Structure 1
Amino acid sequence: MADDRMAEVFAAVRLGGVDSTAARQALEKLWNELGEHADALHRCVIAHHLADLQDEAADALRWDQRALAAVFGPGIPLDEGLRGFLPSLYLNLADSHRRVGEFEVARMQLAIARGHLDVLAADAYGALIRSRLRSVEAVLAAGSTERLPGS
C-alpha cells in the first residue's frame, strides 16, 4: 500500500535526526526496493532526504538531481503534492551546485526556486524555505563552498 510505504519513508527520515548512517541505509534500501517506476512522490521524498544525509557535496548533488528527476519523469503529472516540493528541490540543487563550485548553475537554480515560492504557505515551513534561500544567496555571493550549518 502506498500509505504504508510512505510511513516507512518518513520513519527512515525521522531516524536521520538520531542516526544519519542508519537513516541513509534505510532510505537507500527503500530506494532500491521501489525501483525507478515507483510512485513519483515516494522517489522524490527519498532522494530529497538522501541528499541531505550525504557527506560529500557531489553525492548530495546526485541525490538532489534524482529528486527533481522523480518529479519531472515521463508521464508524471505535476500535482499539488509534487509542485509543493519545487521550491525546496531547486533550493537544494542550488546549494549543492554551490558546494561543488558551480556558482552560475547555483544562481540559475536559485532563480528557479524563487519563481516557485508562490506555492508556499505563510507558515513555518514556508518561512524556513525562504530563510534558507536567503542564506544560500548570501554564501553564494561570498563565493563559499562550505556546508551551511544545519544542512
Structure 2
Amino acid sequence: MVERQEQAAPDAVLTRIGQSVLLHHAGDREEARGRFLDLWGEIGEDGDPLHRCTLAHYLADTQDDPEDELAWDLRALSAAEELRDERLAGAEGAPAVRTLYPSLHLNLAADYVKLGRAEAARVHLHRARGAAGALGDDRYGDGVRAAIHRLALRLGEGGPTGGRRSPPRQRPE
C-alpha cells in the first residue's frame, strides 16, 4: 500500500524541473538556467537517472555555447541509458524509456549541426529516425517526427524517398 502511494505521489524534482521549463518557455532563460543548475547541484552526477536525463535534456536548451549544449545533451543520453523500462512503466501514464530516445538523438544531431560536424549529426539523426517508431500518434510524437524531417532536409537527406518517413499528416483541428 505504501509503495502504491509513493508511486502516485508527484515527483517533487520533476515538478521543479517543469516549473523551470515554464520559466524558460516564458522567455526567462537566465533564471531557468540558474534554477536548473541549482537542481543539478542537488541531485548530482549520481542522482536518479530519470531526474538527470530530464534535467540535462532541458538544461541543454538554456546554453549559449553550442559545446555546452552538446555536453548537457550527452549527459541526458547517458542518464537515459541507465534507465529501465520497468522504472517508468510502473507509473500510470509514464512513457517507456524508448520514447525518450527520438528527442535525445534529435537534440544531439542538432547540436552537431551547430558545431559543423555533419557526419556526427547524420549518425544521431539516423538514430532518432530509428527510434521514432516508439513515439505515440499524438501531438508530441508528431512534433518530434516533424523536427526529425526538418533536420533531415537541412542535412540534405531528403524527405519521404529512400525509405525515410514522411512528415506527420495534418489533422483537422
Name the TM-score, length of structure 1 as normaliser.
0.86
Runs of 4+ in 1 over 3 A off after TM superposition: 78-81
Matched to 2:155, the amino acid is L
Matches within 5 A, 1:29-68: 29-68=38-77
- Equivalent residue number for residue 77 of structure 1: 84
Contact 1:12 1:23 in 2 (8 A): yes
Matched to 2:146, the amino acid is S
Aligned mates of 2:37, 2:17 — CA distance in 1:
10
Gaps of at least 5 residues in structure 1 are 143-151
- Equivalent residue number for residue 105 of structure 1: 120
- Equivalent residue number for residue 146 of structure 1: none
Aligned mates of 2:100, 2:42 — CA distance in 1:
23
Residue 14 of structure 1 deviates from its aligned partner by 0.9
- Equivalent residue number for residue 20 of structure 1: 29
Residue 82 of structure 1 deviates from its aligned partner by 2.5
Deviations 1:76-121 (A, max 9, x none): 4244543211000000001101110111011010111111111111
Residue 5 of structure 1 deviates from its aligned partner by 1.4
Matched to 1:132, the amino acid is A
Higher relative contact order (CA 8 A, sep 6+): 1
Aligned mates of 2:47, 2:79 — CA distance in 1:
9
Matched to 1:34, the amino acid is I
